[in-house]
Chains A and B, each alone.
Chain A
Amino acid sequence: MSGYLVNTAADQAAMLQRIGVSSIEELFSPIPRELRLTRPLQLPQGMTEQELTDHIQTLARQNQSAVERISFLGGGAYDHFIPSVVDVVASRSEFYTAYTPYQAEASQGTLQAIYEYQTLICQLTGMDVANASLYDGASAAAEAMLMALAITGRSGEVLLAESVHPEYRQVVATYAANLKCRVVTLPTPAGFLDPAELTRRVNEQTVCVIVQSPNFFGHLEEVADLAKVTKAVGALLIQSFDPISLGILPRPADYGADIAVAEGQGLGIPLGYGGPYLGILACRGEYVRKIPGRLVGQTTDRHGQRCWTLTLQPREQHIARARATSNICTNQGLYALRAAVYLAALGPRGLRETAERCLKLAHFAARRLCELPGVRLRFPDRPFFKEFTLELPMAAEAVLPPLRQAGYEPGLPLSRWYPQWSTAMSVAVTERRTRGQIEGLAESLRHYLESIPSRS
């Protein structure tokens, strides 16, 4: 018997006797015989902790993690530094082995931490209200679209810039597949959504406009102008943002966004091969009753002491059922805690310095790489934060093997999502990179470019 079961054979016998049955089998009598599995599950035999540890370590060693190569991979998941305090707090088992704080009096630790998270996200974005978290950045964008449908009551077009993360666009389209709206992608050939183009595309039935800034190519959108165009027709502007960028960029509220969503992975959450991450959603106060998922509110106890509880629950599925603002139940509580600890550990100056270091290193990298023959910025006129898109003198896929050989993950070929852009590669530079690493990357790329006989 596995180590997690506790009752001995003697315990079980006494328990069965007390229940008044002769065997455990008798307890399963409601399950008709013909529906029973009459063979053991075809799974490998169990393992001791020692055997499991050996097995899992072997699997882990068959991966080459980002720490083994110097990584410039981005595209929505970034190698930001995680201060020790984040891991220490998140490994308190009073936090990680608790459930959703439905019993307020026994969950003040989680409730206060989430209330603080909501406040930190409001401070970060300039928005009035933030929820207790969603699954990830992509589903947060989809939930924001659902909010916009409910708020506007319209059933026209959901306009999505092509510069939004392609996977977020897919998720929005999947969520909208059976709803009364049409998702339309607006082209961004110049690396951003041209407000003039948006002006031509919006109308009185437009539900919302979804943009990402910094966008998937790393470049900034003219969010303030886009917001004006969007609001002029009574639609909602949804901005997907990079939380780290807000150390230096204007906040979504400053730009005039109505709903701000983000992938919160950069806030103290390990890359972890894509998840779990953290969906951030914040909005203007007037939309609070349309917000999806959990909200923690401040109240008082019987003695007038300040305390916290889940609130506005009639929006949620366990009460509203089919009329709920979203079907979400379990969210990313522990990762909202990580993000809160991260933001509190950085504080205003730490976030500013992190953002500045990303910005400066990324621009240094862009300068160095563009000194190489045939290498240039694809969108040289567009400002960027920590990620930018290069044009290479050959297929971007071709530079990966030699640069990996040299110890670098140089970036993300964009042809996977934009097949016509075979020579484009996005390069992400976080504060973890150093000047020396960037020079090493540039040297390795130069070495490769000089080694190939024919190049344009």
Chain B
Amino acid sequence: MNNPQSTELLFELSRPGRRCHTVPATDDLGDVRELLPASHRSEQPPPLPELAEIDLIRHYNNLSTQNMSIDTNFYPLGSCTMKYNPKRHERLANLPGFTGLHPYQAEETVQGILQLLFEFQESLAEISGLPAVSLQPAAGAQGELTALLVAAAYFRDRGESQRTQVLVPDSAHGTNPASAALAGFTPITVNSHASGLVDLEDLRTKIGPQTAVLMITNPNTLGLFETSIASICAMIHDQGGLIYLDGANMNAILGITRPGDFGADMQHYNVHKTFTGPHGGGGPGAGPIAVRDFLEPYLPLPRVVCENGYYRLQYDGAKSIGRVRSFLANVGVLIRGYCYIRTLGPDGLKAVSEQAVLNANYLRTLVAEGYEIPHPGPCMHEFVASARSLLREKKIRAMDIAKRLLDFGYHSPTVYFPLVVPEALMMEPTETESRETLEAFAKTLLAILQEDAEMLRNAPHTLRISRADEVKAAKEPILRWRPEEAVRD
């Protein structure tokens, strides 16, 4: 249904005098002019819109129908692990026994949530093979930053302040070099080999006494497992450096192999990816980190600890880097992750990775019938196709294919990432999709190749809007509604 009703901006729907929420009266409690000096009092409240409850609900419900979502569409967005979000998680995470907890309540009144979080820490440690966990980081990128701050504190403690460089493969997520810079390091790019894996020769020339950390994504963003990971880690460790694993792709290796076992010293999890916290249209996520025991003293505080069956928050630690957020963690997201791990258990988690890899390879095989896939299989949980020959031969870009897929009710793959593949189309079907869905999607992808190039360049054609002009948006940024800019159709 394409219902444009009430989808004007809130500010255009506003009518003076309308209202939704009312507040209990306080007339018997004095006059605000006696309670606040004039210099700290505004005569008028902020100029917010005025709407009735029905206006509000119709507005947002109709807006919601202009989204694609996992619950309505196949969403093979590479690197994002758009798996099904179980409904039981929503119900359980919203129990008043969790949502009503103030972060500064006494520990004896929050033993249930502390137990849950402690057990979640233990599970993350077991899955990664890295024993010490901090739940604090609010998302993967903050997990990266936190781990790099931990590494910096560790090296400072050891008097190794010459370690100023962080090595980052060219196929890495952009957050890696950004986090490295924010943590005070100089990011150095390591090239990929034609195989898509880290170029060991290039890596060798870049390692030295100045190397602090190698940030590696494994499986990498091409969906390939770094087969030489053990020797890569050894090369870094021999020089006294640390290995950071970007855990964005953990969905491929649950119960199959563990970062701690293949040489990583630190990693983050994207709980909203691997353990299916919903993505929320861009968060909230959670990015807990797991590290080796010798890095534990540097983790942010507080952490959840258990002493003789009593759970408490540990606030003291002289070597801790401090805090990266207020309060404890994105607890609501962690509850969902905990529910997921408890539902699946060890066998279920391993089956997740097996089925994710099976689905990716199946889709890869089907897509390979019409698209170039530059790196040989098998892949792990995702793969990257390239539209470079299409661009050359038919002037069709990866973006055109992505936009045309929307017409058929499919969210597009990730495009133009990783940067090492020109005209990249990165596809991650996840384990929760059926064979028929993958087949229908592949069929659509192949059918698009037969379509008129001009029509593709103008896609999408069937959504409420046609292609958005991103150049215009950036050239004359309009980042908020203002009364004088109001235009009514």
Contacts and interface: CB of A to CB of B under 8 A. Distances in A.
Interface in B71-120: 71-73, 75, 77, 80, 82-86, 88, 90-92, 95-106, 109-113, 115-116
B209 interface: no
Contacts of B335: 56
B47 A347 contact: no
B390 interface: no
Contacts of B104: 73, 75, 77, 412
A11 B115 contact: no
Contacts of B115: 59, 62
Nearest to A319: B174
A184 interface: no
Nearest to B380: A30
A305 B82 CA distance: 30
A64 B96 CA distance: 9
Interface stretch (A198-206, A230-238, A331-339, A372-380): A331-339
Interface string B331-355: 1110100010111111111111011
A2 B348 contact: yes
A165 interface: yes
Interface stretch (A135-143, A154-162, A442-450): A135-143
Contact of B53 (A11, A318, A345, A353): A345
Interface string A124-163: 1110111011011111000000100000000000000000
A148 to B, nearest CB: 15
A21 B24 CA distance: 68
B413 to A, nearest CB: 10
B139 interface: yes
27 contacts: A1-B351, A46-B344, A47-B342, A49-B88, A59-B116, A73-B104, A77-B327, A105-B467, A119-B480, A123-B47, A125-B46, A128-B480, A248-B36, A271-B101, A275-B138, A275-B329, A297-B474, A297-B479, A311-B474, A327-B142, A327-B182, A334-B278, A347-B18, A350-B19, A350-B21, A363-B35, A409-B105
Which of B110, B126, B230, B324 gathers most chain A CB within 10 Å? B324
A208 interface: no
A178 B149 contact: yes
A330 B282 contact: yes
B46 A251 contact: yes
Given A174-B324, A301-B466, A337 B261 contact: no
Contacts of A53: 88, 91-92
A312 interface: yes
Contacts of A355: 45
A306 B96 contact: no
A52 B91 CA distance: 11
Given A330-B282, A351-B46, A307 B178 contact: no
A25 to B, nearest CB: 9
B312 interface: no
Nearest to A214: B40
Contacts of B181: 322-324, 327
A398 interface: no
Given A330-B140, A357-B23, 10 more contacts: A47-B342, A59-B113, A64-B105, A66-B102, A103-B403, A107-B281, A301-B469, A322-B177, A322-B178, A324-B181
B174 A85 contact: no
Contact of B284 (A41, A73, A335): A335
B412 A103 contact: yes
Interface in B7-50: 7, 9-11, 18-24, 26, 28-30, 32, 35-37, 39-42, 44-50
A36 B467 CA distance: 46
Contact of A345 (B21, B417, B464, B470): B21
A7 B358 CA distance: 10
Contacts of B411: 99, 103, 106
B67 A110 contact: yes
Contacts of B343: 2, 46-47, 49, 52
Contacts of A174: 149, 300, 321-324
B420 to A, nearest CB: 13
B468 A309 contact: yes
A101 B113 CA distance: 32
A398 to B, nearest CB: 14
Given A37-B256, A301-B469, A327 B175 contact: yes
Contact of B469 (A120, A139, A171, A300): A300
A275 B362 contact: no
A167 B327 contact: yes
Contacts of A348: 44-48, 50
Given A5-B355, A99-B82, A138-B323, A35 B477 contact: no
Contacts, number: 693
A402 interface: no
A2 to B, nearest CB: 4
A455 interface: no
A35 B230 contact: yes
Contact of B88 (A52, A88, A246, A434): A52
A113 interface: yes
Contacts of B330: 135, 275-276
Contacts of A297: 473-474, 477-479
Contact of B141 (A76, A272, A329, A363): A329
Given A99-B282, A174-B149, A309 B470 contact: yes
Contact of A97 (B9, B22, B51, B279): B279
A326 B56 contact: no
A337 B281 contact: yes
Contacts of A190: none
Contacts of B284: 135, 275-276, 330-335
A328 B324 CA distance: 13
B325 interface: yes
Nearest to A385: B36
B75 A357 contact: no
B24 A357 contact: yes
Nearest to A6: B434
Contacts of A2: 343-344, 348, 351-352
B68 interface: yes
A64 B26 CA distance: 29
